[in-house]
Structure 1
Amino acid sequence: MIVVPQGAIFDDMVELKGDKEIGDRINKIISALAEENDLKDVDIND
């Protein structure tokens, strides 16, 4: 099972639509998901 930390649900990502810092903010969300689930080297290249 995947643990989804607060602030990292899909709706949180959708809210970033149009944000000029979307890549950085998505990376922060993905990093939180990765950390919570012991995943490594996760990066969304924009």
Structure 2
Amino acid sequence: MFNEESIVVQTWVKAVRSGEKFLADVPNLSNLIEVVTQIVEGDETNV
């Protein structure tokens, strides 16, 4: 459902990268955790 271009994903990635939120705070919605984790850990560099 979510991909690296989703506004929800981009919002969570920015919050985690800024230290405002942690990966553990990402809600368990569809594949949101997986996509955000991939981006934050450097698997995706599009965001």
User: Larger C-alpha radius of gyration, 1 or 2?
Assistant: 1
TM-score calculated relative to the size of structure 1: 0.37
Q: Which has the higher helix share?
A: 2
